[in-house]
Every structure is written in C-alpha cells, then in structure tokens.
Structure 1
Amino acid sequence: MTAASPTIVVVGAAAIDEWYAVTNIPEPDGGAYASEVTTAAGGVGANVAVALDGLGRDVGLVSRVGDDAYGRRARESLDSTGVDTARVRVGDDPTTRSVILRDPDGERAIVTAGESFRKLRLDAADREAIAAADVVFLTAYTPDEVSRAVLRTVESAAADDEASDTTSGPPRLVFDLSGSIEELIGRGTEPETIHRLLHRADLFVAGDVAAAAYFGGREAAVRRIAAAQATREGSPDARTSNGRSGDGWPRAVLTHGADGVTVVTDGERRSFDAFEVDAVDATGAGDAFVAGLIDQWIAAAEPVAPGVRFAAAVAAINCQSRFTQPGLPTRAEVEAFLGERGDRGDSGFDSDRRDGR
C-alpha cells in the first residue's frame, strides 16, 4: 500500500460475528434458548471494505486482529476478496468479535468483546497510505487516538495540497457515527473528536440510535449538521472533494432502517424511502448502504438522488441474505436490481421528498 495506495482506505475492525438464533431477547434476569449458533465474518470496517471491493473499487483496510482462531478466520475471509490487507496487523490481544442475539422477529442484541481493534494505532506507513488515498472511511468504533490521527493526516494533506496548489485534492473523509455515545466511551471515538469530524467530513453518516445519543434527536441532528455545513462554506478546505464546489458538499445522511434516510446538504433536508424487499437479515445493511454512498458520491461524484437510490439498492440486496458479507452485491447485481424497478419511484422507493426546512 505504501508504494501504490488504494483509491479508498478503510479504517475499521475486521471481526467475527457469533450468531445465536434465540427464542427471545432476554429481559434483565431473563433467559432464552438458541436453536442455532453459527459464525460469520463481520466488523464495520471489513464490511464496508468488502462491499466496495464487490463494487469494483480499489480498497485497502487498516485494522488489527489477534493471533487466535478468530483472527485467522477474519484474515482468511478477507484473503478471499480483493481487499488489500497489507495494513491489517496481528497482535497478541484477543480478536474483536460480537455475539449477536436475533429473535424470530428480527430484533437483535449485540455484545462485543476482544481488545485487538481497540488497541490499533497508526504507524508512519498507515498515515502515508491515508494521505495518498482518494477517500478515507472510518467508523466511530475506531479508537479515539486513531480517529484523531486520521483527522490530523487528512488536514495535513489538505494543507499541503493548498500550498502546492494542485488539482488532485486531499483525501475525502467519510465518517460513520455507528454507535451511541454511551457505547463508545473508552472504546471508540470521543465526543470532542466526533465534533471535529462533523465539521470536517465530506460525508457524515449517523443511524437513529447514534443520532439520538449524540445530537438529542432527528430534528436536532438536522439543525446541527446544517450549521456545521454552513461553517464549511467559503473556507480554505471547501475544495476537499477534488476541487469540486457548488455541488452540495459536504453531505450528511441520517439512516432510519426500513424507513429510509434523510440527506442534509447545503443546509437543506431531503427524504428518501428504502426499497421494499423481503428482508432475511438486516444486520450490516447500514454498512452496505454507506459503501454504496462512498461508491456513488465520493468516488464517482454522482448527484444526490441517484446516489441514494444506488446505495439503497446495495442495502436492499444485502438484506435478502443471511449475514453481511456473503450477501454483498456486485455492481452488475445492483444495476440489474435497479433495472427491474424502473427509473423512479417504483417498488417502494421515493427518489426525492423535500421537506422545505
């Protein structure tokens, strides 16, 4: 990666998910019975990287796993893809893994363990790869010290780009606030760093749970995001998207699962529905959706509505398979899915609803 950095660098966990198909999600002091237990490769970082690889993007992963059976399983899974794993290091700590309880109605409870990713730190080669990339993605589960290092690296690259007056632009930054603040304390990105990322990211993504915990609710999130976008207008780093200006950057997306998404760009809110499909497993659909946005908006500079539609199709296809990574589609599969549903508004997808606020 140091010789020829991938177009996209993902910083995130490569983990193993242990799935328990339970009769119910236990209440405090309650119990449940698991009729099936299985394992699958997961982790937000690996999910996004594998999804982008499936869409044909040149992508590398910066991560850390343990020297144990879980770590070997995670690396073997990545080795079966085209993801560049040169920056996935192996440590002595237990590999990050999640226990996922899923009831017959699809409700879930997730418990994560393992120190391997939490102890990731960037070295000079990692920072070099990030600075040379076109796009950098990181999740809020990234340790705060690493998130700050990524931010410093991107900002330094932007300053170097400004000084040299080049047209290539610094790395475009995508940040996914993928967990509640309470869940992240001592493990992931801290609120102060999230604030800086909100004001610096080219694309900021948050699910309902994370948005409620950090912003105080959906409406508060829209207001604060619009204000953060306003601070970027006319600033020296406004050309972070390879010199583009006036095309709705930066952007933010609030995801609502089956209820669609809210996009905030140029201080304006626009709503989009999700595709209606027979969902088998929605775990990881958010990661698939983010990968679709990166593919369309950041790597290909597509307009808002077509980009959301493509990303929604990636997520919808992923929902129709068990586990995350086995169900991630290729570009041809996404295009076929969209082709079957026509150009606009078919099969439960409303391509653009403006709320006027």
Structure 2
Amino acid sequence: MTGGTEDDHDPPRVTAIGAAAVDEWYAVSNLPEPDGGAYASEVETAPGGVGANVAVGLDRLGRDVGLVSRVGDDEYGDLARSWLAESGVDGSRVAVGDEPTTRSVILSAPDGERAIVTAGESFRELRLDPPTLESIVASEVVFITAYAPDRVARAVLDRVLDVPESDRPALVFDLSGPVEELAGRGTEPETVYGYLHRADLFVAGGVAAPAYFGGREAAIDRLRAVRTPSVGPAVLTHGADGMTVVAEGESTRIDGFDVDVVDTTGAGDAFLAGLIDRWLLTDRESAGGRDRTDLLDAVRFAAAVAAINCTERFTQTGLPTREALEAFLATRDVDLR
C-alpha cells in the first residue's frame, strides 16, 4: 500500500515524514544493567513516533502541518490515528497496511533518563506514490527523520533537488539514530551524507552523531567543513549538556535550560519542532532576512520547547503552546529578537 491517496486540498505548510507510533511507557526503579532487572511502578500508553511528535509540536505552536506515515490495521494503529485526529495535524496521508503498527517500549527512570526498544513493521514498509511525493515537495518545509526507510529518504531528497531552486521547499533532516539501529530499517549512510550536503537544516543527536562521524569533536569538524554559506546550518544536540550550532564554518555552544526533569522522552523531537518554527517559518523579510543572531535565538527558542517537554510525562502531552512557551521564556528573562 502506498503513502496515501490523492486529495484536492492544498498541501500543508510543513510536511513531516516519520512514524506515528504508540509508546508503552514503564516508570521503572532503574535502567537495568546487562543481566540486571528493574521494577515498573506504573505502565501507561501514549502517542509517540518522531514524525508524529514533530508534527504535533508544530501544531501546538499554531503551524499548518501534515504527516506522511504508515500504521497497521490493528488496535495500535487505531490508537495512533485517533490521537492524531484529536490534534490539528493533517493525517490524510497516513496509510494503513497489514503489518504491525510501529510501537516503542520506553523504560523511564526516576531521573527522567530512559531506554527505548522499538518494534513493528508498519512505518518500515512506507512507500510514496506520485501524488504523495508531489504533495510533499509542494510544502514550504519538509521534515524527514533518519528512521524513514532508505527508499523513502532517497526519493524525497531526489525529488526536492529536482524542484527549481526558487520553488524548492526547505529540507530538514534529523539524524535520529546510530548506524547499527538504522541498519536495514532506516536511512542508509550514503543517503545520510546526501542530506548532510544538501539539507537546509541538519540536526543530529548526541548518540547518533558520534556513530556517523567518530565522536563529538569529529562531528563538529566535519560539519564546519560542509555547512558553508551556501548550505544551511547544522545543530548537534547533547542532551543536558546543551547544543552546538554549526553554520558558515563556525561553531557556537549554547546551554539548555535547567528544569525539574520528569521524562526526557521526545525532547529531541520537541526541539526540532521549535527549531523549524522559529528558524524556517518565522518571517524575517521585513528585518532584512535571517542572520546568525536569528539562528542562535531560534536554537534557544527550540531549547525552551524541549525543556518544557521534559517537565511532563510522555512526549505529546508535554509539547507546549506558544503562549506557554512565551511565559516560560519571560520567567527566565530571555528576550529573543
């Protein structure tokens, strides 16, 4: 089955390509060591998946966003679609197939740290038919996660680059998993490097980046060489240690916000939603275009979205509205341009 059916309405301003999944969340006494154990005092089910998390995060910030995904024809798929229907995200291109819905078991420790195991074949079997691909490139911004099957990631990259530069959507790539986790499931290293050189915004997590580049400093050095003035910026996220912004051959370290952490699950997805909102969707034309100060402000804005997300259980329930975000920044005396 393909990624959706053709429809008559205009494409959303942002299209996110990623899983709409179900998170089975366990509040455990500890993250077990090899051959060790843990006790779960609570077990709950919540919406998840990188694609759905980013899409819902943008929707909470008031953005027009659609999701391209695939779920199974089972109770988990029904849950994922019902949760999506409760949001403002356009789910018309979420396909339904015969494979089990993608779902994750999340072990969440008292300090908010977690371990995640994912199963289910539904998103792995995503394919894009021509109408879906054309709808994707007609959006203003296209977000794709490295968990997307390689054939999908390659098709999107090739089609975006086929669009005349003046009409081309901004392309955002999230290097969301290490090589061994994505092997045979997600985007292959060769395709990742295509996005590294072509994406308008390249984001990599603290676990994924070293796996591809050989360490944090090696990643920064590599990105400095690649992210020239003609290529958009890159951001490396380091969890509680903040972020590194790489643009035009320079790197800048930015601290995160201190909050009482309840659950770090999905903090990276929340960060992505905030960064897309502030860097790519905020109109800067009247101020003479975007500059480095705007970029650093966008990263701080995104860090605030991620921080708020960490103060709540589950990803999507913790994603803030714009009003909540502005109130948070005001209490921290953060004045963004």
User: How would you bin the TM-score normalised by the shorter chain?
Assistant: over 0.9
Q: 2:47 aligns with which of 41, 47, 57?
A: 41
Distance 1:145 1:325 in 2: 28
Cα deviation digits, residues 136-178 of structure 1 (max 9, x gap): 0001100000000110111111xxx24xxxx5x3011000001
Cα deviation digits, residues 91-132 of structure 1 (max 9, x gap): 010000000112223332211000000000111121111110
Show structure 1 runs of 5+ residues with no match.
239-248, 345-350, 352-357
Q: 2:221 aligns with which of 201, 216, 223?
A: 223
Cα deviation digits, residues 62-103 of structure 1 (max 9, x gap): 000001110000000000010000100100100000001122
Q: Contact conserved, 1:2 with 1:128, CA < 8 A, in 2?
A: no
User: What corresponds to 2:101 in structure 1?
Assistant: 95
Cα deviation digits, residues 10-60 of structure 1 (max 9, x gap): 000000000112222223333222211111000000000000001011100
Distance 2:301 2:13 in 1: 20
Quote how far apart the aligned CAs of 1:2 are.
Answer: 5.3
Quote how far apart the aligned CAs of 1:257 are.
Answer: 1.0
Q: Does 1:259 align with 2:252?
A: no
Distance 2:140 2:238 in 1: 28
User: What corresponds to 2:279 in structure 1?
Assistant: 297
Q: Residue 88 of structure 1 aligns to a residue in which SS?
A: strand
Quote how far apart the aligned CAs of 1:299 are.
Answer: 1.3
Show structure 2 runs of 5+ residues with no match.
1-6, 285-289
Q: Moved runs in structure 1, 4+ residues, more than 3 A? A: none
Q: Structure 1 pair 131/19, CA: closer, same or farther in 2 (3 Å)?
A: same
Moved more, 296-305 or 55-64: 296-305
Q: Residues 1-357 of structure 1 correspond to what in structure 2 (within 5 A)? A: 3-157=9-163, 161-162=164-165, 167=166, 169-230=167-228, 233=229, 238=230, 249-300=231-282, 303-343=294-334
Q: Residue 118 of structure 1 aligns to a residue in which SS?
A: helix
Q: Residue 6 of structure 1 aligns to a residue in which SS?
A: coil
Distance 1:2 1:288 in 2: 30
User: What corresponds to 1:242 in structure 2?
Assistant: none
Distance 1:44 1:211 in 2: 17
Letter in 1 for 2:315: T
Q: Structure 1 pair 40/229, CA: closer, same or farther in 2 (3 Å)?
A: same
Distance 1:309 1:2 in 2: 38
Q: Structure 1 pair 176/2, CA: closer, same or farther in 2 (3 Å)?
A: farther
Q: Contact conserved, 1:2 with 1:129, CA < 8 A, in 2?
A: no
Quote how far apart the aligned CAs of 1:340 are.
Answer: 1.8
Quote how far apart the aligned CAs of 1:298 are.
Answer: 1.2
Q: Residue 112 of structure 2 aligns to a residue in which SS?
A: coil
Q: Contact conserved, 1:260 with 1:274, CA < 8 A, in 2?
A: yes
Distance 1:208 1:255 in 2: 6
Q: Residue 332 of structure 1 aligns to a residue in which SS?
A: helix
Q: Contact conserved, 2:110 with 2:262, CA < 8 A, in 1?
A: no
Distance 1:227 1:115 in 2: 37
What is the root-mean-square deviation in Å for CA atoms of aligned residues? 1.4
Distance 2:104 2:81 in 1: 16
Q: Contact conserved, 2:113 with 2:264, CA < 8 A, in 1?
A: no
Give TM-score, length-normalised by structure 2. 0.92
Moved more, 15-24 or 58-67: 15-24
Distance 1:135 1:155 in 2: 13
Q: Residue 312 of structure 2 aligns to a residue in which SS?
A: coil
Q: Contact conserved, 1:2 with 1:125, CA < 8 A, in 2?
A: no
Moved more, 37-46 or 21-30: 21-30
The count of residues paired between Structure 1 and Structure 2 equals: 321
Moved more, 306-315 or 104-113: 104-113
Distance 2:109 2:262 in 1: 12
Distance 1:28 1:310 in 2: 38
User: What corresponds to 1:241 in structure 2?
Assistant: none
User: What corresponds to 1:354 in structure 2?
Assistant: none
Letter in 1 for 2:299: V
Cα deviation digits, residues 186-236 of structure 1 (max 9, x gap): 000000000001000000001111011001111111111122223xx5xxx
Distance 1:151 1:55 in 2: 27
Cα deviation digits, residues 285-342 of structure 1 (max 9, x gap): 1100111000011112551122112111111111111100011111111111112222
Distance 1:28 1:307 in 2: 40
